[in-house]
Chain A
Amino acid sequence: MFRFDRRLLLNFDWVFLLSVIFISVMGLTNLYSSTHAFHHSGMSLFFKQLYYFLAGFGIVLAIISVDYRVLLNWNYPVYIGSVFLLLFALLFGKSIANTQRWINLGFFSLQPSEPAKLALVITLASYYYRKDTGKGFSLKELMVPMLLTGLPFLLILKQPDLGTALMLLFVFVSMTLFVKLKWQTLAILATSCLSAVPVGWKFFLKPYQRQRIETFLNPEGDPLNTGYHIMQSKIAVGSGMKFGKGFMHGTQGQLDFLPERHTDFAFSVWAEEWGFVGSLVLLGAYFFMILWGLNIAISSRDKFGVLLAFGIVSLIFWQAFINLAMVTGLLPVVGMPLPLFSYGGSSLMTTMTGIGILMNIRMRRYMTSS
């Protein structure tokens, strides 16, 4: 398994890597613009993120050197490890703005909800691969994946981090729909999900989360608090117009009107400074990456690879879509970074790990078990 095969190098997916690098460079450029005015002691956020990227490419290299199929055996240790980290963060984590999301590793603050997303993808891919009979899953057979999703979901909801928790549901639904379901199962799931919405609203959502959604439905009703984010972000995006205000010349971002402008609202800064044209370029890059990712999925010779690749692509896609929809005012504000683009080590490392796995699958598309 550790023997290096020369064919691997030939099958190295340069195109996918280049699309990743393309988005990363835009992200770093944007990060420089949005943070150059910060007066931080120590390393600037730009260089921190640059180092995360370099480390991320290191992770990609490390991952592609090991056949992805080992994950099929390691999926439960990975899963248990991620749940343990979530528990640890809840019990001993560092509290930032009243949320227990972080584990302080000294040199790095880890956000365990980020790797948890990937761990769930690996676990679900393994489970579905093993149990798939081709006849479609029944409700009873779905109990295990539901429980596997539910545990980290509840732990992350407790932090509280609604965005990431919902992302687990998106991934679960995407992957479950991708494998075959019995029609009755689909019908039952759909009805129970719809009926769960009011219950969840009442019992699971924290007041601030409810307020965010209410604010989203009526942003002008609360222009100074939660609605403020949406309003300012829309102003930033809209005022970019056709060609943008120019690099480092976006007033909304530069003058601090835009909250979280280097993390969740990084795209607002981009749209403000590069306009509709720049936004299309970035959107096109993501679109290309997603399509290429789906192509990687279908080019795999084994179903585990297909499921795993599809799960990772859906994870990246939903994160990107929800983030972009949120900053353009189409969805309520939930904590959701734009993969490869927003500042943040945990999110970037997770994404790069996922990309490493995708490239791993791609490289080994012609390999078969001997």
Chain B
Amino acid sequence: MSRYLARINKIDEAELNTLKRRIDIATAVAIFFIAILIVRLWYLQIHRGDDYAQLSESNRIRAQALNAPRGNIIDRQGRIIVTNRPCFNIVWVREDAPNPDAVLKSLARILHEDISVLLERIRTYADHPRYMPFRLQEDIDWKTLVYIENHRLDLPGIHIEVLPSRDYLYGDMASHIIGYLGEINQDELDRLDEDDDSPYEPGDQLGKMGVEKLFEEYLRGEKGRKYLEVDVHGLEQKQLKIQKPLPGDDLQLTIDIDLQQAAEKAMEGKAGAVVAMEVNTGRLLALVSSPPLHLQEFIGGISAKDWQAMLDNPLHPLINKAVQGQYPPGSTYKIVTALAGLAEGVITPETVFYCTGSLSFGNRTYGCWRKTGHGAVDLHRALRESCDVYFYQVGQRLGVDTLARYARSLGLGSITGVELEHEKPGLIPTTTWKLRKYKEPWQEGETLSVAIGQGFDLTTPLQVCRMTAATVNGGVVYQPRLIESIKDPDGNLIKQFPPEEVGKVLGTKKELQLIRDGLVAVVNEPHGTASIARMKDVVVGGKTGTAQVVHLSQFKDAKGDDIPYKYRDHAWFTSFAPAEAPEIAVTVLVEHGGHGGSAAAPIAKDVLERYFALKKERAAGAAGATSATGATSAAASTTAAPVAAAPDAASDAGPDAAPDAGSDAAPDAAPTAAAASKPQP
């Protein structure tokens, strides 16, 4: 062998034994450590295996909430007003963008925005962590979305977020009724968490106003869950199980889209409210507060700027003036005074007072709106020409507390309980009320002001509308209804809201008839204050009102435009038709509109004209549908509607075919007809 190896010596016997002992020790050491490992594996895999198996399960399975499509809001005809659509937002994740300036520059070009606008938005989030996404642009249009999706690779840091959003098919129509959605806030979360199975999680949307809020529990549906197998980054690997969300229930309003639109159009550019109510059921056919809310601005959360603009708007768009606006009823209140006078026997239809243009009472003079005076005035003429002196006389004989009793029986002075939030009760003063509130006794002179709807009197347009309805329907005070029914997504009825009598007017049918005659004269006789509202085919009755906002002598002789807007009088007109068998009551209030006859009555007339035109159209449509299907009765045509060859015509005819047959049959026939004739999904 080579010389390199020559030096290596064999081990002698003694040394071999020593080494063998040491190898044995090493073997023992190895066995010891391997035994430790075996015990450890036994502990982890057998003894605690179940625990770790469970941990590994929860490690890999994520449950993802699937938002339920919110229920639709539909009109009384079954037409969809509000439904759902996906809303696409552009989201910015700073961390993902190695070269943010270039990305933002091309994004600015895509969005047709100046880059400074985007940079400004980013600046507000400057102190957020770099990995945190925030919204750069909300609700982008389809074209922009497609473009960004196609250029995804050129836009690192830009992500698209999809959120369910409301789709307002009729724009801002009925915005105060519908209300809006918003992200759930901490207060709401805390409050809702108190009930055990609150379905809400941070980031959820819920109704914040209007029926979206009040009927949230029906509309929201039930969330689904998607069980995903995810990796450590939370990225979806495999879908394990899916529990489908249950869509929310549909909410059918009593509102008629056509009428609502007509009323809103008539109110365009004005501040105020329109309420249209079925006289014999209390259902609201239209409820307008002007100016409307811009529902679109609320999608994805309203910006502080838009919100401030709404708060600052002198026309107060955030207030639903139909139920939250409290105005002196003005001369519309003369209905109350007249009824109380007749019922209490203070006057008869033949009682005559002499109007010289004013009335002295105590040490004050109370003027009539007509300074030259009306001369000898009876009830009919007093209503027709709205003679203040006549009602001063009546009111003075009744006293404020008696007046209040009648006002309350007509539904004034307390909330109506309609399905809207923050409704205001108005105010019907009494002697005890004044003593309690001002610690002063009632002055007799104040009764005179109250008798013509000024002074302390306050009413909401909805209250005045219901008062009108109760006056002309024979004295029944109905619960105002905004909701017709709630149906599940398959169209099954869940809840119905039948008409409900909540009170009886003090006074006999005959007395009410006398007042109704007077109100018809307001529109249809010479010298009536609202002849402007006269219609060709239908006899309309009504009462004008002008509610003083201030008693400033400096504006006493000023007229119209000379007075600053906020000091101008509110204009009222409350009406009903047809005079012989009233179906609909329409009340209009125009804030700072001036005289009721000139400012409010034409709007009521527009609404009434639309109502009767629609009725005619739908009757014709129903007749057409009836002959097309060969059915012999209206009832048959409505049940056949979903399968009929002309479902639109048939469904339109549904609810209104019934009132035609006789107004008393309407309450029962209408809802079933509407339910049966809803072919929409």
Chain A residues near B (Cβ < 8 Å): 1, 67, 69-70, 72-73, 134, 174, 178, 180, 232, 234-242, 251-252, 255-257, 271-272, 275-276, 279-280, 283, 286-287, 290-291, 294, 297-298, 301-304, 306, 310, 313-314, 317, 321, 324-325, 328-330, 368-370
Least CB distance, B16 to chain A, in whole angstroms:
8
Q: Is B620 in the interface zone, CB < 8 Å from A?
A: no
Residue in contact with B22 in the complex, picked from A178, A279, A369, CB distance below 8 Å: A178
Q: Is B27 in the interface zone, CB < 8 Å from A?
A: yes
Least CB distance, A245 to chain B, in whole angstroms:
9
Q: Is B566 in the interface zone, CB < 8 Å from A?
A: no
A241 and B45 within 8 A (CB): yes
A370 and B41 within 8 A (CB): no
Q: Which residues of B contact A310 (CB under 8 A)?
A: 23, 26
Nearest chain-B residue to A257 (Cβ)? B232
State the CA gap A81–B480 with chains docked (Å). Answer: 98
Residue in contact with B41 in the complex, picked from A72, A251, A276, A302, CB distance below 8 Å: A276
Nearest chain-A residue to B233 (Cβ)? A256
Q: Which residues of A contact B230 (CB under 8 A)?
A: 255
Residue in contact with A328 in the complex, picked from B16, B20, B44, CB distance below 8 Å: B44
A-B CB proximity, top 7 nearest = A238-B52, A241-B49, A239-B56, A256-B231, A1-B2, A238-B44, A276-B45
- Supposing A1-B4, A237-B41 touch, asked if A276 and B232 sit within 8 A by C-beta, the answer is no
Q: Which residues of B contact A314 (CB under 8 A)?
A: 26
Q: Is B37 in the interface zone, CB < 8 Å from A?
A: yes
A1 and B1 within 8 A (CB): yes
A369 and B41 within 8 A (CB): no
Nearest chain-B residue to A330 (Cβ)? B40
Residue in contact with A283 in the complex, picked from B2, B5, B37, B232, CB distance below 8 Å: B37
Residue in contact with A290 in the complex, picked from B30, B49, B50, CB distance below 8 Å: B30
B56 and A251 within 8 A (CB): yes
A298 and B20 within 8 A (CB): yes
Least CB distance, B63 to chain A, in whole angstroms:
16
Q: Which residues of B contact A306 (CB under 8 A)?
A: 11, 19
B34 and A242 within 8 A (CB): no
Least CB distance, A86 to chain B, in whole angstroms:
27
Q: Which residues of B contact A69 (CB under 8 A)?
A: 4-5, 8
- Supposing A178-B22, A276-B42, A283-B41 touch, asked if A325 and B36 sit within 8 A by C-beta, the answer is yes
- Main SS of the interface on chain A? helix
A238 and B53 within 8 A (CB): yes
A279 and B45 within 8 A (CB): yes
State the CA gap A232–B52 with chains docked (Å). Answer: 10
State the CA gap A348–B447 with chains docked (Å). Answer: 106
Contact with A along B4-25 (1 / 0, CB 8 A): 1111111100011011101100
Least CB distance, B660 to chain A, in whole angstroms:
68
Residue in contact with B52 in the complex, picked from A73, A237, A257, A291, CB distance below 8 Å: A237
Least CB distance, A26 to chain B, in whole angstroms:
15
A255 and B60 within 8 A (CB): yes
Q: Which residues of B contact A276 (CB under 8 A)?
A: 41-42, 45-46, 49
Contact with A along B36-75 (1 / 0, CB 8 A): 1110111011101111110111011000000000000000
Q: Which residues of A contact B567 (CB under 8 A)?
A: none
B55 and A279 within 8 A (CB): no
Q: Is B554 in the interface zone, CB < 8 Å from A?
A: no
A134, A255, A330 interface centre (most CB from chain B within 10 Å): A255
Q: Which residues of A contact B18 (CB under 8 A)?
A: 180
State the CA gap A236–B20 with chains docked (Å). Answer: 40
Least CB distance, A331 to chain B, in whole angstroms:
10
Residue in contact with A256 in the complex, picked from B15, B41, B232, CB distance below 8 Å: B232
A298 and B23 within 8 A (CB): yes
- Supposing A1-B2, A238-B44, A275-B45 touch, asked if A134 and B8 sit within 8 A by C-beta, the answer is no
Least CB distance, B497 to chain A, in whole angstroms:
52
A303 and B41 within 8 A (CB): no
State the CA gap A325–B8 with chains docked (Å). Answer: 39
B5 and A67 within 8 A (CB): yes
Residue in contact with B9 in the complex, picked from A134, A302, A313, CB distance below 8 Å: A302
